[in-house]
């Protein structure tokens, strides 16, 4: 009897720990196939963010308490981040963008560390954090690229192109190449760190299911938060760089 209990418990832990790369549950929308499992976990993340925002701000008080404290702290934190990276004059219009990027990545990363997605079975794929999929991180990186191009063009017009020949014209190929490497580095850094964290925890849970993986999981929560901060900080830095005046 004891052996059966231990065996069933081990099998459950192995199922939780299992992480497979490249398995997808596809939805067919017209002529396009989309990753259904990414959409489902993304909607979960949106629901968590919307729920916290609604509960924390539905009954605002002059002296904040409870979840209102948390939402105001997050707002001030993102405002300070935007002001530091973009500057006093332009930062306010970019707070919603940077806040959305930061919160989506932060909650997505933590959902991968805290929610036992692998207990939910779906046909032909498996659930995981949205940022555990390269398509999500590439989409976020491309949004960031479009944001800093828009910021530069909206402020400087065609004069934005001067940055490609500054401080010297022979730097044109390097400056153009930089615009391609920025989204690549953003997307692969986030994807690689989140995937590696889930793989390490999965392997440790399967090898030593009790106690030992807990510090690694706590470290994963910390690094997941750091990855969200790094992505949002770099996005703000790129926007600030695109609108700064070159002399």
pLDDT-derived band at 95 (thresholds 50, 70, 90) equals very high
CA atoms of 177 and 109, how far apart (whole Å): 29
Q: Average per-residue pLDDT in the chain?
A: 79
- Domain count for the chain, please give it: 1
CA distances from 13 to 1, 38, 109, 197 (A): 19, 23, 21, 17
Note the pLDDT of residue 228. 92
Which of these, 216, 9, 231, lies nearest to 113 by C-alpha position?
Answer: 216
* Statement: residue 65 has pLDDT above 80: no
Contact 99, 93 (CB under 8 A): no
pLDDT-derived band at 58 (thresholds 50, 70, 90) equals confident
Cis peptide, bond prior to residue 189, ω within 30 of zero: no
Note the pLDDT of residue 141. 93
What mean pLDDT comes out for the span 26-47? Answer: 84
More confident residue, 195 or 80: 80
Note the pLDDT of residue 11. 47
More confident residue, 134 or 120: 134
Contact 94, 86 (CB under 8 A): yes
Contact 141, 234 (CB under 8 A): no
| Phi and psi, residue 34, nearest 5° | -120, 155
Range of the domain at 117: 2-243
DSSP character string of 95-159: HHHHHHHHHHHHHHHHHHHHS-GGGSEETTEE---GGGSHHHHHHHHHHHHHHHHHHHHHHHGGG
* Statement: residue 92 has pLDDT above 50: yes
Hey, what are 132's tokens? 């555990």
């Amino acid at each position: 009897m004891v052996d059966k209990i231990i065996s069933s418990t081990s099998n459950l832990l192995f199922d939780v720990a299992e992480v497979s790369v490249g398995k997808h549950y596809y939805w067919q929308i017209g002529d396009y196939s989309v990753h259904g499992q990414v959409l489902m976990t993304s909607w979960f993340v949106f629901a968590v963010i919307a729920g916290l925002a609604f509960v924390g701000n539905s009954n605002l008080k002059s002296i904040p308490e409870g979840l209102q404290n948390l939402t105001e702290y997050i707002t001030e934190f993102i405002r300070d981040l935007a002001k530091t990276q973009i500057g006093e004059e332009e930062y306010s219009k970019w707070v919603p963008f940077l806040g959305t990027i930061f919160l989506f990545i932060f909650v997505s990363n933590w959902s991968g560390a805290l929610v036992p997605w692998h207990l939910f079975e779906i046909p032909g794929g498996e659930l995981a954090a949205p940022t555990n999929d390269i398509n999500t991180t590439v989409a976020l990186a491309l949004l960031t690229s479009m944001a800093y191009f828009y910021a530069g063009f909206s402020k400087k017009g065609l004069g934005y192109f001067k940055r490609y020949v500054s401080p010297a014209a022979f730097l044109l190929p390097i400056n153009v190449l930089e615009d391609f490497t920025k989204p690549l580095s953003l997307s692969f850094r986030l994807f690689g760190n989140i995937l590696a964290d889930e793989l390490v925890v999965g392997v440790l849970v399967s090898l030593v299911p009790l106690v030992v993986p807990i510090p690694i999981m706590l470290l994963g929560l910390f690094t997941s938060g750091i990855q969200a901060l790094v992505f949002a900080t770099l996005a703000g830095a790129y926007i600030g760089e695109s609108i700064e005046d070159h002399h």
